Amino acid sequence: MSEQSRPADTGEGYTDELPEYAERVLEVAERIPSGRVMTYGDVAEWLEEGGPRQVGRVMSLYGGAVPWWRVVRSDGVLLPGHELRALDHYRAEGTPLKTASRAAAGHLPRLDMKRARWDGGTDAGAHT
């Protein structure tokens, strides 16, 4: 095992800590209720720091341990390369989807952003 891949408690000077901004992004992702989503921009706005690209970078590097499928593109298109895994989660959670058109790549549905988007408020269970 290399020095860089060892757990934090086994090596001097090695740290397994996430950057502070990444921790904050992941905390927001964990707060998003089942069946709801926030866009990358929504997360940045919630944090009052960074932007959609910074949030996307954090999710691509560190998001595997949180419900990553709940942080999405603003157009509702499923995350390229992870569409089927995300779709399984959306269906299991009852996340509102729009039926795919025949022209849609792979005939995959999109998220129904009007109904699925969560604003961070207390309406966690309500699909409006």
Residue ranges of the chain with per-residue pLDDT less than 50? 1-14, 124-128
Residue 117 to residue 95: CA distance in whole angstroms: 9
Residue 55, pLDDT score: 98
Residue 121, pLDDT score: 81
Residue 10, pLDDT score: 43
Residue 75 to residue 67: CA distance in whole angstroms: 19
Residue 85, pLDDT score: 96
Residue 18, pLDDT score: 81
Contact between residue 19 and residue 55 where contact means Cβ atoms under 8 Å apart: no
Q: What Cα–Cα distance (Å) separates residue 22 from each residue in 61, 82, 96, 118? A: 9, 21, 28, 20
pTM for the predicted model, two decimal places? 0.79
Residue 103, pLDDT score: 65
